Amino acid sequence: MQTVTLNNGVKMPILGFGVYQVPDAEECENAVYEALMAGYRLIDTASGYLNEEAVGRAIKRSGIPREELFITTKLWVQDASYESAKVAFAKSLKKLNLDYLDLYLIHQPFGDYYGAWRAMEDLYREGKIRAIGVSNFLPDRLMDLIVHNEIVPAVNQVETHPFYQQLESAAFMKEQGVQHQSWAPFAEGLNNLFGNEVLSIIAMKYNKSVAQVVLRWLIQKNIVAIPKSVRKERIVENFDIFNFELHQEDMEQITDLDTGKSLFISYHDPELAKKMGNWKFDY
């Protein structure tokens, strides 16, 4: 598996498996198990996905040595404070049935994420987490966090796909030594991604699927991707991207698809902060 090296020296697989919107326990467990059997070693979940226990069962069922895996989960807004973050971390670790995490992320840039970050710094120093990072942080909030804390986030997981490439944010993250990770690499199928003419022509050129082309494009840009599927054939297909390379002209054609706008939410919208602040989960 191809890896990226985080700013603390930890190696992270460049391709992983995500489980967002897979709340059904049996379906989630089976999907993660099939992903692990297909060769994935990075599994990405979150407390807010309500499926950490299913992920934990799949990990145990796989029989893969723990040191070969890279497991990520995330802290939700309702737990964004110093004390609550430590309690939430312990809950996640127990649900996953693990002794440590490879990566722990602040899921949203809202609430007392400063307090949460300092708790995560403590857990990192104690060896309970191999790397700590954030998700959905715009450059201004990311820089603010970097300036006022000791540990620079190792990862920032943000919406990234052909229609929203985060070019300015990507350049900023690279400058700060923060690894760019993509959520929704397929844009959840919006804008007719799988039927896009440019992507379809490139896919035919390499005898690959549009999904494979998108994932290959991301990893050639050194962006970690975590595609999701509950279908075994798609899970296997999405992993089969290490036997070809996109030419520069194809990379540039995909770059031209960028709209510079999110297809989902705006982190500049105060209503989003209000919504996230009131969005609580019973876990």
* Domain locations in the chain as residue ranges: 3-278
| pLDDT tens-digit map of 72-97 | 999 999 999 999 999 999 999 999 99
In DSSP terms, 168 is beta-bridged to: none
CATH architecture classification, 3-278: Alpha-Beta Barrel (3.20)
pLDDT number for residue 277: 86
What is the distance, to the nearest Å, from the Cα of residue 44 to the centroid of all Cα atoms in its chain?
Answer: 6
CA nearest neighbour of 108 among 150, 148, 149, 159: 159
| pLDDT tens-digit map of 169-193 | 999 999 999 999 999 999 999 999 9
CA gap 62, 79 in Å, rounded: 31
Whether 226 contacts 185, CB under 8 Å: yes
Q: Which amino acid makes up residue 99?
A: D
Catalytic residue among 40, 49, 104, 113: 49
pLDDT number for residue 38: 98
CA gap 15, 218 in Å, rounded: 9
Whether 227 contacts 186, CB under 8 Å: yes
Q: List the structure tokens of 67.
A: 């040191």
pLDDT number for residue 66: 98
SS in 3 state form for the chain?
CCEEECCCCCEEECEEEECCCCCCHHHHHHHHHHHHHHCCCEEECCHHHCCHHHHHHHHHHHCCCHHHCEEEEEECHHHCCHHHHHHHHHHHHHHHCCCCECEEEECCCCCCHHHHHHHHHHHHHCCCECCEEEECCCHHHHHHHHHCCCCCCCEEEEECECCECCHHHHHHHHHHCCEEEEECCCHHHHHHHHHCHHHHHHHHHHCCCHHHHHHHHHHHCCCEECCCCCCHHHHHHHHCCCCCCCCHHHHHHHHCCCCCCCCCCCCCCHHHHHHHHHCCCCC
CA gap 17, 28 in Å, rounded: 11
In DSSP terms, 72 is beta-bridged to: 44, 103
pLDDT number for residue 16: 98
Collect the ranges in the chain with pLDDT lower than 70: none
pLDDT number for residue 281: 86
- For the whole model, what pTM was predicted? 0.97
Residue 164 is a catalytic residue: no
Residue that is written with structure tokens 């082309």 in the block: 213
pLDDT number for residue 283: 85
Residue that is written with structure tokens 């804008």 in the block: 191
pLDDT number for residue 279: 87
**Is residue 127 packed enough to be buried (19+ CB in 10 Å), middle (13-18) or exposed (0-12)?**
exposed
